[in-house]
Structure 1
Amino acid sequence: MKYTAKIITHRGEKRVAVFFDRDDGLIAAIKAIDGSKWSQTMKVWHLPDHDENRKMFGLPLIIDSLPSEEGAQSLENFRRWLRSKRYSDSTIKTYMEAAKSFLVFFKHKASNTISNEDVILYNNEYILKNNLSASYQNQIVSSIKLYFTTVQDRKVEIESIHRPKREKVLPNVLSKEEVKLILESQNNIKHKAMLCLIYSCGLRRSELLQLKLADIDSKRNIVFIRQAKGKKDRIAPLSPKILALLRDYYKGYKPKVWLFEGKVKGQPYSEQTLQTILKQAVKKAGITKPVTLHWLRHSYATHLLESGTDLRYIQELLGHSRSRTTEIYTHVSTNSLQQIRSPFDDL
């Protein structure tokens, strides 16, 4: 989905404005963001101006000024430490942005004088004051804890930094009928193969786009997912129907390196383009829900559970480190609920 975002002033207040051609899925997603509004005069959707929303739409962060010289040096030391621990580039970027935000907030204070009370102050005066989400706050806490692990002379007691209470949000799940409508709405075999493979193996978007030709083992009927989240390898069963679809796709496109390549041979497919393909398929299928690629992964796990697959196997297939992460799907499975008779039916 193509859109542009910029900072505007609306009724004396700075806001993040998002401009795009009408798209019901994107409108639904924006409406779900706290504080989102439609300006009838400006004909644009706009959101509260804070770092979380800026980051979501690719705008420079508010707190993009430099920390103190001492803070900048400690940030560089933090970056080196993260690299030595072999964190992924995306994780390093996330942690660095969060640590930078924290240090800029205390730019007039030496790192070794920051205490646990300052962490609480930051949460109240920056996180809560700007209505940032609990998940974003949790991300900040993770970064602060890791950052102060690298600072030897410190007042902060790392084990005393508490995380925000976790929000209990259920995963979004499509019915099998809805998934079928979405997948069958695609006429382009390449686009269809990508979406079908995500659902049939429960892949993350990045996992799909990092697949190489050698990762499809047609003799053992498995997909090899290498160095996924948490730098873990795993395998997933390959459906015979998907294998047949992939063979037809290969005959037409002949990819060289990656299983799914972009317009330039040898280069992986674009994440943004893949998301656009899904949006088009959802619209064509007549589904008005704000479906994302991750919904297909959630649906895969839930449908496995409803068909009787043991939760432990689902955990392995999804690549979850903790069983508690996988257990959330028990709350959206409808098999048991459908057996409950409502007292309303007896009236």
Structure 2
Amino acid sequence: MQLNKSITIKHLLIDNKKCIGLHFYANKILNALIKELKGVAWNEEFNMYYIPNNKQNLDNIYNLFRGVAWINSKYFFQHSRSKELSETFDISWYRKRLKHSNFKLCPESYLQKLELKKYANSTVKSYVSCFEDFINYYHDKIIDNLNENDIRYYLQWLVQNNRSNAYINQAVNSIKFYYEIVLRMPNRFYNIERPRKEKKLPIVLSKENVKKIIEHTNNIKHRCIVSLLYSAGLRRSELLNLKLTDIDSSRMLIHIKDGKGNKDRYTLLSKNTLNDLRRTELKNKQY
């Protein structure tokens, strides 16, 4: 039987209690069935039905609507990254820091969730730094009790102190991570404003300048490095992790693994770069 009805389940925080929100378009059958859920109620603010968030109620939702409606859970379950980072999670810098006695440290639960979600070490440092700046701005307040207005006042303070748009966006990410991921309250801060993206033209070398750089390299190895960075558009970390097996000369492609955002991609391989790589490999074999 094809299901043409759907119910989207979401995390809600109502009266400081975690709830399961049930969002669907008006339908007589669904309206009648949903009232069979024990403890179900209507919330005007979110314009949807909700029940307390626990495993039994989640099972009841699936059992009640099985064969009647499709349960859309993509906003409810947190999906971990599909690929593991090649680096080891390292917070030794966090433990070794010297901090004043009245300095509020990032909660252990925050660090644990960053590790479980397999965030890159560079991202961990940024998130921890930004979040500690935030909680120390409200040093005398309990962070779990802060609301959207508190966050807005803090962001306004950052703007008034001429912090960059990049820093402010990172601050928003670090704050949302705590409330929405660590505390699992994803509906609290949907409407937090972000700075408008700056539109700046990149500084791009002309083709002639790039040719001059390649022609004036000291050796064939340096020539390959510059060529790969320019012609294939590799980032420095991607170049450092590149292996011989990632070069597909038959299709003239380079397979980039674990690139930005922990994603794989293919990029073009130029004929001149391929010839230089082969010369480098031949030279290495001679030694």
Flag the 1:154–1:243 CA change in 2: closer, same or farther, 3 A: closer
User: Which whole-Å deviations, capped at 9, do the CAs of 1:175-231 have from their partners, x for residues lacking one?
Assistant: 211221222221222222111111111111211111122212233322110011122
Q: Aligned residue for 2:166? A: 135
CA distance in 2, matches of 1:178, 1:155: 49
Flag the 1:186–1:67 CA change in 2: closer, same or farther, 3 A: farther
User: Which whole-Å deviations, capped at 9, do the CAs of 1:268-297 have from their partners, x for residues lacking one?
Assistant: xxxxxxxxxxxxxxxxxxxxxxxxxxxxxx
Aligned length: 190
SS at match of 1:72: coil
Unmatched 5+ stretches in structure 1:
1-63, 255-347
Q: Aligned residue for 1:105? A: 137
CA distance in 1, matches of 2:221, 2:257: 22
Give the counterpart of 1:72 among 80, 96, 105. Answer: 105
CA distance in 1, matches of 2:101, 2:143: 11
CA distance in 2, matches of 1:201, 1:144: 36
CA distance in 2, matches of 1:73, 1:128: 23
RMSD over aligned Cα atoms: 2.9
**Equivalent pair of 2:109/2:182 in contact (CA under 8 Å):** no
Structure 1 residue runs of 4 or more that deviate by more than 3 Å after TM superposition? 64-69, 150-156, 251-254
**Equivalent pair of 2:180/2:187 in contact (CA under 8 Å):** no
CA distance in 2, matches of 1:67, 1:251: 60
Q: Aligned residue for 2:282? A: 251
CA distance in 1, matches of 2:101, 2:185: 18
CA distance in 1, matches of 2:282, 2:134: 52
Larger Rg: 2
SS at match of 1:132: coil
CA distance in 1, matches of 2:184, 2:259: 35
Shift of 1:241: 1.1
TM-score (norm 1): 0.49
TM-score (norm 2): 0.59
SS at match of 1:224: strand
Shift of 1:233: 0.9
CA distance in 1, matches of 2:248, 2:215: 25
Q: Aligned residue for 1:173? A: 204
CA distance in 1, matches of 2:267, 2:126: 29
SS at match of 1:160: coil
User: Which whole-Å deviations, capped at 9, do the CAs of 1:148-192 have from their partners, x for residues lacking one?
Assistant: 113539799311211112111122222211221222221222222
Give the counterpart of 1:230 among 261, 266, 277. Answer: 261
Give the counterpart of 2:219 among 188, 202, 208. Answer: 188
Structure 1 residue 93 and structure 2 residue 125: aligned? Answer: yes
Flag the 1:153–1:177 CA change in 2: closer, same or farther, 3 A: closer
SS at match of 1:142: helix
Q: Read off the aligned partner of 1:216 and give its amino acid letter.
A: I
Superposition pairs for residues 199-210 of structure 1, below 5 Å?
199-210=230-241
CA distance in 1, matches of 2:169, 2:118: 21
Superposition pairs for residues 1-347 of structure 1, below 5 Å?
65=99, 72=105, 74=107, 76-125=108-157, 127-152=158-183, 157-253=188-284
Flag the 1:129–1:241 CA change in 2: closer, same or farther, 3 A: same
